[in-house]
Structure 1
Amino acid sequence: MDAGAAIDAVRDRTETERNRLGSDKALVAATDATLETEAVLAAAATRESGLAAVLNGWVDESDGPVAARFETAAAAAAERADRIGAAAGADDGLIDHLERVDGTAERVGAGLVAAPLVADRFYLQVVSFFVNEADEQRADTFREIRRTASALDDGEAALGQLSESERETAAAAATDAITAAYDEYAAALAAMGLDPKPVC
């Protein structure tokens, strides 16, 4: 399993969860049904600030090229948080999960593969929110944020520094992280009496 195959495996294993995380209920769950601009901005800032802090914490605990990828990804997340310009709230389920991940391969999978895959789905709905609000400036900003937040360049490069067995470990950790994000999403909706499964 090379780096690309590891990422493809994660996509295949988490297709259902990721599709639901990108549904029109995503912001309902993330904002506790407060579908207002400030709440959406706070949810986005929370994710980016939390991700930057976690990745920064891993830099000194990792070696060489992998540490450099954590550092690059942390800087990018911090820059996105600055662009969002809102106060961050309490860490969400994905960030809580990342804070408990240990081991280089596991951190590569969770922080550099899972986090971008989740971000891609989350920011799809943030862009849609601002389009519906007729706020094209913010919609454009979040299109760019989505592009960088969902980029897998750092993840693919870091996976390339691992052995084949470590890449399998990373893929399993990425799957676990996406599952953690989905579990929080499903629990938040259930608490509001909503079904996380799509209505056909």
Structure 2
Amino acid sequence: MDAGATINAVRDQTETERDRLGSDKVLIAATDATLETEVVLTTAATRESGLADALGQWAAEADSDVATQFEGAAEAAAERADRIDVDAGDPDGFIDHLETVSGTARRVGAGLIAAPLVADRFYLQVVSFFINEADEQRADTFREIRREASALDDGETALGHLSESERETAAAAATEAVGAAYDDYAETLEAMGLDPKPVC
């Protein structure tokens, strides 16, 4: 598989989890059911700050070819955290998972493929939250943040530096990381007595 096919394979493998991570329950789980502006902002800043920290550490530890993508993605996440402009809180389950990932190929999958796929779903609901709050300025800000955070350019470039077997390792790690984000979401909702599965 080339880089594009690797990303498409991850999308196919994680379709159900990503659909559920894009539901209106995702902010209930992420904020412990405290749907207030400051809490939503803190949750978003925490994700970006935690991602920036993980990617920055990986950049320092990676070989030169992939280090550039980690470094660029870390700087972009830090810039998004600055734009959100609130203090970060305690890391969530997805960021905790990233901190356990080792090996360049697995880190490419988790940090440069899974993280944007998860961010796309999360920020969909952040935008919706601010639309519902009639805060069009913040909704516009998070539309832009969603567009940037969900971009897969760094991941596709990094995959291009890997061998085919390493791309398979990256795909498996990306699928696992999306699964970790979903498991955190589902377990949090279940602890609240809510069903993470959509009601049909």
Q: TM-score range by the shorter chain?
A: over 0.9
Q: Identity over aligned residues, as a percent?
A: 79
Aligned to 1:67: 67
Alignment of 1:37-186 (within 5 A): 37-186=37-186
Secondary structure of 2:194's aligned partner: coil
C-alpha distance after superposition, 1:131-152 (max 9, x if no partner): 0000000000000000000000
TM-score, structure 2 as length reference: 0.99
Task: Write the letter of the residue equivalent to 1:45.
Answer: A
Q: What is the distance in 1 between the residues matched to 2:33 and 2:88?
A: 17
- Counterparts of 1:9 and 1:93 in 2: how far apart (Å)? 24
Give the distance between the partners of 1:113 and 1:25, measured in 2 at CA.
Answer: 23
The aligned amino acid for 1:113 is I
Q: Could you list the structure 1 runs, at least 4 aligned residues long, displaced by more than 6 angstroms after superposition.
A: none
Looking at structure 2, the residues matched to 152 and 79 of structure 1 have their Cα atoms a distance apart, in angstroms, of 17
TM-score by length of 1: 0.99
Indicate the RMSD between aligned Cα atoms, in angstroms: 0.4
Tell me the equivalent position of 2:30.
30
Aligned-pair CA distance for 1:60: 1.5
Q: After superposition, give the CA deviation of every residue in 1:22-62 in whole Å (9 maximum; x if it has no partner).
A: 00001000000000000100100000000000000011111
* SS of equivalent to 1:60: helix
Listed as ranges, the gaps of 5+ residues in structure 2 are: none
C-alpha distance in structure 2 between counterparts of 1:59 and 1:23, whole Å: 33
What is the letter of the counterpart of residue 154 of structure 2? Answer: D
CA distance in 2 between counterparts of 1:157 and 1:59 reads 15
Q: CA deviation at 1:70?
A: 0.2
**Cα deviations by residue, 1:106-135 (Å, 9 ceiling, x for unpaired):** 000000000000000000000000000000
In structure 2, the partner of 1:194 is 194
Question: CA offset at residue 65 of structure 1?
Answer: 2.0
Which whole-Å CA distance do the structure 2 matches of 1:12 and 1:123 have between them?
20
2:90 & 2:19 partners in 1: Cα distance? Answer: 25
AA of the residue aligned to 1:48: E
